[in-house]
Amino acid sequence: MKIAFVGLGNMGSPMARNLLRHGHSLVVFDVVQRNVDALTAAGAMAATSVRAAAATAELVITMLPSSPHVKTVYLGDDGVLAGVPSGIPLIDSSTIDPHSAREVAAAAAAHGNPMADAPVSGGTGGAETATLTFMVGAEPAVFDRIKPLLAQMGKNIVYCGNSGTGQVAKICNNMLLGISMIGVAEAMNLGAALGIEPKILAGVINTSSGRCWSSDTYNPYPGVLDNAPAARGYSGGFGTDLMLKDLGLATDAAKQARQPVTLGAAAQQLYQIWSAHGAGGQDFSSIINLLKGCE
């Protein structure tokens, strides 16, 4: 299939490579020339604009940092809708606010293009190994049409409902993740301060009602899990500032929906404090050190 791929950053680049590996023909675009060069070296063609990339594609995929980028790339004078023929399906894998996702999808629909929001989880590792989870908001028929393609870049392709619901699922899940990580950090710190062996405490929690991914798969307390970021000084993983971005999307959407998210907002503020102390680039589980204090 001839695919236009726009946005070749840390996530987009390995995703595009997986499509190349499956034999697709790719026309790519990115504002950073170096990113484009790396993909053309791998077999993709470079387009001179988003519009040009979209003009000859049978499908368009975008992976962009934020909502204003998505709006410009789709709705701008040189953007996707200015070039793409009617009927071609569009997939945006950026993580943005549901409202903007729906706005762009409505513009695409008006132009005759079915559009899916398909944000991912799994990080750069998942992008490279094609084990991402895609949370997809689209008409059921569109979902059926694009699912095989998404399966070439990911492992779990989850249908979330109509337009925007992919983004909704992503920000709701990540808000809960941001909360439960702090909850685990507090429980582990408290237990250790009160004299229980952290590994034993994690074992109790992981077989009890406190059980959660943040404890059994990504425990923030050093020494509990060998392969969690806590075991390597909180490098790699999912950065504090990325968690902050998602919590910002969630609390913004909650404000629009007039829906209280008390712990979500509290978590956002704690990560913001932690980021203000220089930890924005560390894995988000390092928040345990904000709460533990210094010796």
- Judged by CB under 8 A, the chain residues 23 through 52 that form the site for its own copies are none
Whether 199 sits among the annotated catalytic residues: the reply is no
Structure tokens given for 31: 């504002």
Assess 9 for contact with its own copies (CB under 8 A). Answer: no
Nearer to its own copies, 83 or 164 (CB): 164
What CA–CA distances, in Å, run from 131 to 157, 229, 273? 10, 19, 32
78-97 positions binding its own copies, by CB under 8 A:
none
Residue 175 engages its own copies in binding (rule: CB under 8 A) = yes
Nearest approach, Cβ of residue 170 and its own copies (Å): 8
- Contact positions with its own copies (CB under 8 A) in 138-157: 156
Distance CA 4, CA 8 (A): 11
**Residue 135: helix, strand or coil by DSSP?**
strand
Other CB atoms within a 10 A radius of the CB of residue 177 amount to: 21
Please give the single-letter amino acid code of residue 214. S
User: Binding to its own copies (CB under 8 A): which residues in 220-249?
Assistant: 248
CB nearer its own copies, residue 18 or residue 272: 272
- Point out which residues pair with 62 in neighbouring strands: 6, 92
Answer for which of 57, 70, 84, 254 binds its own copies (CB under 8 A) is 254
Least distance between its own copies and beta carbon 174 (Å): 7
Q: Are 36 and 8 a contacting pair, CB within 8 Å?
A: yes
Closest CA to 132 of 155, 115, 112: 155
- Looking at the DSSP assignment, which residues form a beta bridge with residue 247? none
The window from 40-48, 69-77, 204-212, 225-233 that contacts its own copies (CB under 8 A) reads 204-212
Catalytic residues: 170
